[in-house]
Amino acid sequence: MAKDFDLMENSNRSANPTIYDVSDPARRIFVRGALASATAALFGGGLLAGCASTGSSKAAALGRDIGFASVPMRDVDDVLVPPGYTARVICRWGDPVGIAGKMPAFKPDGSNSAEEQAVQLGMHHDGMAYFPLDGSRRGLLAINHEYTDDGLLHPDGMKTWTADKVRKAQAAHGVSIVEVEATPNGWRQVLPSKYARRITAATPMLISGPAAGHTWMKTAADPTGTRVLGTLNNCANGYTPWGTYLTCEENFINYFHGPDNPDEHGKRWGLKKGGAGYRWHEFDERFDATKHPNEPNRFGWVVEIDPMDPSMTPIKRTALGRAAHEGATVALTDDGRAVVYMGEDARFEYIYKFVSRDRVKPGGFAANRDLLDHGTLYVAKFNADGTGEWLPLVHDRGPLTAANGFANQGAVLIKARQASDLLGATKMDRPEWTAVDPISKEVYCTLTNNSNRGRDKSPGVDAANPRANNTMGHIIRWKESGDLDATRFTWSHFVLAGDPSLPRAEAKGNIRGDIFGSPDGLWVDPRGVLWIQTDVSTSTLGKGDYVNLPNNQMLACDPTKGEIRRFLVGPRGCEVTGITMTPDLRTMFINIQHPGESPSERSDPDEPMKFSRWPDGGRPRSATVVITKNDGGVIGL
């Protein structure tokens, strides 16, 4: 999500070539061999039950090189992929999600009602996962909708403001479950589908785990502290070996109207008067934290959804801690316990790891319904000598005592930021997605950027975050000392992003190839290919350190070889996010979010169209894009 609503859009649309822009067919990235199944290595094979990447991927030709030609960076209002590939839009904001009898057409002037929006795909697609119904030919996509640009959402943007507009904005948040299938004419959305579902900011949900029922979770509408309406700002995601989808609540605090002078807890979580301008509190009182001070505590969680069951009540899993959650990447220990890696995307926030108490059982969600309610949450400390420690967020351990404001485990989890502060965790440069290499078990995390590092009273550089005014971001990598539940690790910088032709970019980590900055989306596919997606703010694209990067992009890398090669360039003003593949690795789905992002997007419906009319020539629409190879081959080879 763009952070700089009030900054000027760049006007530099030049397509300056860079030293890396000449595609060299001799550059080949070797893909590691010996991989039998998409998730066997990551999830332990036999435990799988309809999970996102289940199934044999023998088609992932073993030991071959990545073979695509680098896509030159260009300032275009389109999706560019390598020669021999095709990218097609499959489902956009406002398309019917596919509920039988409730499939209203999208109205290009933004005049769909709140009720119609509640059965159409939401706005601003983000994290996403494919759940097979028929292997690699038919499946479900669970798609996050991070936030709304109300300028685009309504016919006259925010020039007027009504209760109906608030209800429509809430209906455009959350998650969509859509069914997709391969046909002789390419992939299409299945309409209608018995699986089709919208989960919005008004959908009833359960709260589970140690913070459920806590005093700080109780409100006038929910005196039990165990039930809540909706999920917000669903950014990145995860998927579990037992077949469920995890959606993560990122910048939830932006929706809440706070007092002039918030208390210490409110300040630590960024509560402020007016929030970030969503204006929901004007017509929906629960978003007025001056009247309902506990309501914000009920957001900032990882939410579990069974995509196969449209009647399932989503569950907020408090054992995983409260944060401005970016994503939740699940892997397994050797004995089958779930490990969840999570970044908190805010300046100087932390990286977390949850280790489940129990082993994953065969039998899908029914057999693992409580698995994410019991376990230990840790926060990362990166030492200067290349070692690191996982510090437990456990009540009465170390400083996390009642005397310090943590009377029980629920308090530790609700105030996870304050607990991590006390433990001395390392303040990172905006941790975004995490990814676990299924083969090497190395873990990666994107640190997208942090221009405040070293500025004024902000923290200065440290070993893990080595650049002051870190405009370009970096990717950190660690290896647990033993199994994934270890409490110690060793770490290194995988890459400090930047353009080597500019003075600020240092070569580090033996990485070479196409330039990028502000890494965000991150996934290691079952072969061990690391996919990197970028989210450079539109106020920055094409300027300064980004002078050669007018648009956002996606790149691929074999970490054992170190070359990073550009696979995709996105339309103007978008970020590239969300990535998943069918088990045979012959189809990739990615999301294009907020094409045409502009300085006035929150209020003016016409402004974004000056920058982008992707994909249909009218109001720009976030959309899922399906990518296939024209010869039907495996993506990337």
Segment 504 to 543, residues that bind ligand FEO, using CB under 6 A: 520
Cβ-based neighbours of 393, under 8 Å, separated by 6 or more:
321, 376, 377, 378, 379, 400, 412, 413, 416, 419, 420, 423
For residues 213 and 324, the answer to whether their CB atoms sit within 8 Å is no
Is 480 a binder of Ca ion (CB under 5 A)?
no
Choose the contact partner of 250 out of Ca ion, ligand FEO, none; CB within 5 to 8 A by kind. Answer: ligand FEO
The residue (of 166 and 342) whose beta carbon lies closer to ligand FEO is: 342
User: Pick from 116, 250, 480, 545: which binds ligand FEO (CB under 6 A)?
Assistant: 250
* Least distance (Å) between residue 239 CB and ligand FEO: 18
* Least distance (Å) between residue 182 CB and ligand FEO: 30
Is 179 a binder of ligand FEO (CB under 6 A)?
no
Residue 3, class by beta-carbon neighbours within 10 Å (0-12 exposed, 13-18 middle, 19+ buried)?
middle
Using CA atoms, how far apart are residues 417 and 636, in angstroms rounded to an integer?
40
The H-or-E segment that residue 264 falls in is helix 264-268
Segment 294 to 313, residues that bind Ca ion, using CB under 5 A: none
Tell me 274's DSSP state.
T
User: CA-CA-CA-CA torsion for 100, 104, 105, 109, nearest 10 degrees?
Assistant: -160
The residue (of 222 and 535) whose beta carbon lies closer to Ca ion is: 535
Is 149 a binder of ligand FEO (CB under 6 A)?
no
Is 601 a binder of ligand FEO (CB under 6 A)?
no
Using CA atoms, how far apart are residues 198 and 105, in angstroms rounded to an integer?
16
Is 351 a binder of ligand FEO (CB under 6 A)?
no
Is 284 a binder of ligand FEO (CB under 6 A)?
no
Interface size with Ca ion, residues (CB under 5 A): 3
Segment 493 to 532, residues that bind Ca ion, using CB under 5 A: 520
Number of residue whose CB is nearest Ca ion: 535
Cβ-based neighbours of 558, under 8 Å, separated by 6 or more:
29, 30, 31, 32, 66, 528, 529, 530
Cβ-based neighbours of 208, under 8 Å, separated by 6 or more:
226, 315, 316, 317, 318, 319, 370, 372, 373
Tell me 136's DSSP state.
T
Segment 224 to 243, residues that bind ligand FEO, using CB under 6 A: 235
User: Pick from 95, 288, 344, 535: which binds Ca ion (CB under 5 A)?
Assistant: 535
The residue (of 329 and 628) whose beta carbon lies closer to ligand FEO is: 329
List the x/- string, 215-244, binding to Ca ion by CB under 5 A.
Answer: --------------------x---------
The residue (of 368 and 446) whose beta carbon lies closer to ligand FEO is: 446
User: Pick from 9, 95, 116, 146: which binds ligand FEO (CB under 6 A)?
Assistant: 146
User: CA-CA-CA-CA torsion for 263, 269, 273, 275, nearest 10 degrees?
Assistant: -160
* Least distance (Å) between residue 325 CB and ligand FEO: 9
Is 344 a binder of ligand FEO (CB under 6 A)?
no
Is 345 a binder of ligand FEO (CB under 6 A)?
yes
CA geometry: angle at 628 spanning 627 and 631, to 5°?
Answer: 160
Using CA atoms, how far apart are residues 185 and 183, in angstroms rounded to an integer?
5
Tell me 282's DSSP state.
G
* Least distance (Å) between residue 249 CB and ligand FEO: 10
* Least distance (Å) between residue 233 CB and Ca ion: 10
The H-or-E segment that residue 117 falls in is helix 114-117
Using CA atoms, how far apart are residues 271 and 292, in angstroms rounded to an integer?
13
User: Pick from 326, 349, 389, 480: which binds ligand FEO (CB under 6 A)?
Assistant: 326
Q: Which amino acid is at 359?
A: R
* Least distance (Å) between residue 344 CB and Ca ion: 12
Interface size with ligand FEO, residues (CB under 6 A): 8
The residue (of 161 and 348) whose beta carbon lies closer to ligand FEO is: 348
By CB under 6 A, name the binding residues for ligand FEO: 1, 146, 235, 250, 326, 345, 432, 520
By CB under 5 A, name the binding residues for Ca ion: 235, 520, 535
